[in-house]
Amino acid sequence: MQRLLPKQIKRAVKNFRVQGDFLAASPYGSGHINDTLLAKCHLPDGSESPLILQRINTDIFTDPVGLMENIAAVTEYLQAKIIAEGGDPNRETLRVIRTFDGYPCYRDPDNNWWRLYTYIGDSYTLDKVENPWDFYESGVGFGSFQRRLADFPADTLHEVIPGFHDTVNRFHQFEKAVGADPVGRAATVRQEINFFRQYKHLCHVFPDLQRTGDLPLRVTHNDTKSNNVLLDKKTGKAIAVIDLDTVMPGLAMNDFGDSIRFGASTAREDEIDLSKVSCSLELFTAFTKGFLAGLQGHLTDLEIEMLPQGALIMTYECGMRFLTDYISGDNYFQIQRANHNLDRARTQIKLVRDMERKLPIMQQIVSQTSHN
C-alpha cells in the first residue's frame, strides 16, 4: 500500500456525511492490517468531533464492497439487538458513516478505499492484558458478540478471505513459501520450519470433527485480539467489539482461542526475550469465565470441551502465518523493524509448547467454569 498524503485524507473525509469542517488526522491504534486515523472535524459550535477513518488494505481485502456490505449488515443487526436488550446502540457497536451517495465506503481517484466510523470515546483497548478483570471483560465482549449474532443469516455474508482459519490450507501456503523461498530466508529459520511440521497434526483436529457434523458453523469474529474490543475508561466494562473485517462463518473455539493466544500471553506478541513468554492460567481462567458468561449457554458441550484446543490451534496457525510472511518477504503483516514477523512467530512457538503442557489444566478450568 502506498503512503498516504494529507490531501487524500482530507478529500476522503469530505466525501462522508459528517458535520463540520475537516481539521486534522493522525495515525491511531496498533492494528497490523489497515491504516487507522483519528480524524477531527470542527463543528459550528466551536467543538471538535473525533471520527475513526480507515484506509482499507485492499491487498488483503480484495473485495472492499463485499467487505463493507458485511460490516454494514452486521452492525445494523447488532444495533437492533442492542436496542431490544435496552442497551445504547451508539456505543455498544461500531456505526458506519455513509458517503453522500449513501455507500458505506468511498473509493478515491487514486484507488484508495476508505471507511468512516463514529468514534467511541472514553474507551481503551489492550495491546497487552495487564490484569484478569480487563480480560474477563474482554471475554464478556466477545462472548456477547457471538451470542447476539447467533441468528444472523450467515449465508448472506461474503467470505472476504476464503479459508481464513482453514489451518490445513494455511499449512499448504506455508510449505509453498518454504519451497519458493523468494528472499532466501528459509535456511536461516530451519528450526522454526521444523516446529510447524512437527505439530502439523493440530491442523486436522477441527476439520475431522466438522466432517462428522459435530461442530456447528457460527457467525464469528475471527480476529479476537484484546485490542479489538473497547473497554470503558470509567467502569472497565466491555463496550463494543470492533475490527469487523473478518466476521464470517467460523468456529466458536477459534474466537476463544485467538483471544487466549494474544491476551493470556505474559508478553507482547512481538517480545524478543522469549523467557518472558508463557500462557498465564490466571488470565486463561478470567477470559473463560467472561466468554461463557457473555455467551449465556449458547455453546454445545463439545464446543466447550474443545475451547482449550482452540487456543493451541489458533496460536499454531498464527505463528505459522507470521513465519510464512517472514519467509515470503513481509508482504502481509505491517512490520516496524527487521525480523518483526520472525520475532512474532517465535513467541507463538513458545506459547504453543507452553499451552501443550498446560492443556490438561486448561481443560479442567473450562469444565469447572462451565458447570458453575
> Contact residues for ligand GN1 (CB under 6 A)?
31-33, 60, 223, 225, 228, 243, 245-246, 269, 318
Contact (CB, 8 A) for 51 and 120: no
Closest distance of CB 228 from Mg ion, Å: 5
The yes or no reply on residue 31 touching ligand ADP (CB under 6 A) is yes
Q: Which of residues 120-139 bind ligand ADP (CB under 6 A)?
A: 120, 123, 125
Nearer residue to ligand GN1 within complex by CB, 259 or 309: 259
Closest distance of CB 252 from Mg ion, Å: 20
Closest distance of CB 77 from ligand ADP, Å: 17
The yes or no reply on residue 29 touching ligand ADP (CB under 6 A) is yes
The yes or no reply on residue 49 touching ligand ADP (CB under 6 A) is no
The yes or no reply on residue 33 touching ligand ADP (CB under 6 A) is yes
Nearer residue to ligand GN1 within complex by CB, 31 or 87: 31
Q: Which of 281, 257, 233, 286 is nearest to 126 (CA)?
A: 233
Residue 333, amino acid: F
Quote the cell numbers at residue 62. 480484495
Q: In degrees rounded to 5, what are phi and psi of residue 337?
A: -160, 165
Residue 290, amino acid: G
Point out the residue whose Cβ comes nearest to ligand ADP: 31
Closest distance of CB 246 from Mg ion, Å: 10
The yes or no reply on residue 243 touching Mg ion (CB under 5 A) is yes
Q: In degrees rounded to 5, what are phi and psi of residue 94?
A: -60, 150
Rg (CA), the chain: 21
Binding partner selected for residue 152 from ligand ADP, Mg ion, ligand GN1, none, CB under the kind-specific 5 to 8 Å limit: none
Nearer residue to ligand ADP within complex by CB, 47 or 372: 47
Closest distance of CB 68 from ligand ADP, Å: 13
C-alpha 86, offset from chain centre: 27
Closest distance of CB 225 from ligand ADP, Å: 8
Binding partner selected for residue 125 from ligand ADP, Mg ion, ligand GN1, none, CB under the kind-specific 5 to 8 Å limit: ligand ADP
Place of cell 486436522: 204
Contact (CB, 8 A) for 119 and 38: yes
Count other Cβ atoms within 10 Å, centred on residue 305.
Answer: 15
d(CA 269, CA 343): 8
Strand partners of residue 21: 42
d(CA 163, CA 322): 17
Strand partners of residue 35: 55
Rule CB under 5 A: choose which of 167, 228, 288, 324 binds Mg ion: 228
Nearer residue to ligand GN1 within complex by CB, 35 or 269: 269
Largest CA distance in the chain: 63
Nearer residue to ligand ADP within complex by CB, 65 or 150: 65
Q: x/- site string to ligand ADP, residues 209 to 228, per CB under 6 A?
A: ------------------xx
Q: Which of 258, 232, 227 is nearest to 243 (CA)?
A: 227
Quote the cell numbers at residue 168. 490445513
d(CA 192, CA 240): 36
Contact (CB, 8 A) for 34 and 27: no
The yes or no reply on residue 250 touching Mg ion (CB under 5 A) is no
Closest distance of CB 303 from ligand ADP, Å: 26
Binding partner selected for residue 269 from ligand ADP, Mg ion, ligand GN1, none, CB under the kind-specific 5 to 8 Å limit: ligand GN1
Closest distance of CB 258 from ligand ADP, Å: 13
d(CA 135, CA 291): 10
**Contacting residues toward ligand ADP, per CB under 6 A:** 28-29, 31, 33-34, 36, 52, 94, 117, 119-120, 123, 125, 227-228, 230, 242-243, 245
**Contacting residues toward Mg ion, per CB under 5 A:** 31, 228, 243
